[in-house]
Structure formats: C-alpha cells, structure tokens
Amino acid sequence: MKHPLDTPLETRLLAAEGLIFDCDGTLIDSLPAYASAWRAGFAASGKGMDSAWHTARCGLCETQLMTHFEQSHQVTLDRPRVVATMRQHYLANLSRHVREITQVTAIARRFAGVKPMAVASSGSREIVLNSLAALGLAELFDAIVTIDDVGKAKPDPAIPLEAARRLGLPPARCLVFEDSEQGLEAAQRGGLPVVDVRRLSAP
C-alpha cells in the first residue's frame, strides 16, 4: 500500500477539504529579512549573530531563538528590547527583502475561494499579517493563526489544530504545507496530513 506522503500532490490537493499554510519559508521567503532584523536585535548584547547560525534555527519562534542565542553566546538578553528592535527593523525593511515562494503561493491562489484556507505560523501576528499584506496574500485566507492566538509554538500542534478548528474541519481532512522540522512535527503530532514544501519544484 502506498504511503500517504508518496501520493502525488495533485491527488492530495483535490482530496483535502481545507488547506493550511505555514508563513515564513513556506508562503514567503523572509529569511534575509529575519536574519538582518535579528542581527540588529541581538547587537545590544555585544555579541554578533552569524547568518549560518540563524539559518540553522529559522524554524524557531522568537522565544525559542532568544533562548538558543543566550545558550550559544553565554549572555542574558533584554528580551523585550531585542524583540522590539527586531520587529521594528523587519517591518522597516519588509518591502525590500520579502518575496513570495511561488510554487506554494500558486497553490494558495488557485484554491482561494474554492477550499477553506488558513495560515498557521509560529511568528508574531504583527509580522505575519504585515508580511502577507505586503505581498497581497492576506486576502486569500479565511483564517490566520499565529503564536499570539494559542501561546504555544511548533512543534506543539496547537497552531495547526487551531487553524483547522477555525476552518470548521477535522484535522485529518486538512492538508498542511510546511518547510521546517518543527512545522512538520507539529502537523504530524496533530494528525494533520502534511506536505514538505522543500520537495516541491517551481511551477
């Protein structure tokens, strides 16, 4: 019997009753914007942030990333200040550094208004909403769920489960799109079928 993950994407898309998308790294390429913003946020600690260090941890939420930074660099951060600086820097440079990941946004545009769709992100509501709006994507979705709504970051399944609830669908009838190990684990733990977008080719 064929494993569900081996089923062709088109078959899985048509079978799903609702679609749920991660934001950063799935719908949008925000890695350069986040790397620059976190570098600015961490600067007050007196320690620099290496881009490779950040790339290896790009699936983490703000709190998780700051914990890793403190442990890696042996510092204690002024967390509210770091977050405020990071978000301000990200939003100020949003239009220059953030781009659509077209092989995924093409799916979202195709099924907008056809199937219920949601965004499920461990990012802050402020950044997620502004990022989606800047690229004209926010209007495609029936619900946008962030860590601010549930208080638990991926790999906890709370975020995708809340997205399914808001769509009015059982988790097993949704199809999730993710790019990080944390996101894939969250979907699997919540009983939601999931697609690893890193395996998709451009249309």
pLDDT bracket for residue 51 (50, 70, 90) = confident
Place 97 in a pLDDT band, splitting at 50, 70 and 90.
Answer: confident
Residues 110 and 87 in one domain: no
Burial track 168-182 (b if 16+ CB lie within 10 A, e otherwise): ebebeebbbbbbbeb
Q: What is the mean pLDDT of the chain?
A: 92
pLDDT band at 2 (very low <50, low <70, confident <90, very high): very low
Written as six digits, the tokens of 161 are: 């489960």
Alpha helix ranges (H) inside 31-180: 31-42, 51-55, 62-73, 79-92, 94-97, 102-111, 125-134, 147-150, 158-167
Domain boundary among the residues 79, 96, 113 is at 96
Predicted pLDDT of residue 201: 60
Supply the pLDDT for residue 25. 94
Specify the CATH number for the domain of residue 22. 3.40.50.1000
Shared domain for 20 and 45, answered yes or no, is: no
Tell me the pairing of strands 28-29 and 99-100.
Answer: antiparallel
Same domain, yes or no: 82 and 114: no
21 and 113 inside one domain: yes
> Given this model, what pLDDT does residue 58 score?
84
Q: pLDDT tens digits, residue range 101-123?
A: 999 999 999 999 999 999 999 99
Residue 176 C-alpha from the chain's centroid: 11
The residue segments making up the domain with residue 63 are: 31-96
Q: Identify whether residues 16 and 61 lie together within a single domain.
A: no
pLDDT score of 11: 95
Whether the predicted pLDDT of 92 surpasses 80: yes
Is the model's pLDDT at 1 over the cut of 60? no
pLDDT at residue 185 above 90? yes
For position 59, what pLDDT does the model report? Answer: 83
Predicted pLDDT of residue 6: 52
* Residue ending a domain, choose from 42, 62, 96: 96
118 and 189 part of one domain: yes
> Is residue 90 domain-shared with residue 150, that is, in the same domain?
no
Percent of the chain with pLDDT over 90: 83
pLDDT on residue 50:
87
**49: exposed, middle or buried (C-beta count within 10 Å: 0-12, 13-18, 19+)?**
buried
Q: Are residues 104 and 18 in the same domain?
A: yes
pLDDT for position 66:
95
CB atoms within 10 A of CB 192: 26
The neighbour count for residue 64, using CB atoms within 10 Å, is: 15
Do 138 and 89 fall within a single domain?
Answer: no
Give the other-Cβ count within 10 Å of 27's Cβ.
28
Q: Given this model, what pLDDT does residue 203 score?
A: 46
Residues 137 and 194 in one domain: yes
pLDDT 10s digits, 147-183 = 999 999 999 999 999 999 999 999 999 999 999 999 9
Look at residues 96, 128, 143 and tell me which one is the last residue of a structural domain. 96
- 146 and 64, same structural domain? no
Q: How large is the average pLDDT for residues 2-28? A: 86
Cα within 13 Å of Cα(138), Cβ side:
12
Domain count, the chain: 2
pLDDT value for 96? 86
Q: Is 94 within 8 Å of 131 (Cβ atoms)? A: yes
Same domain, 73 and 115: no
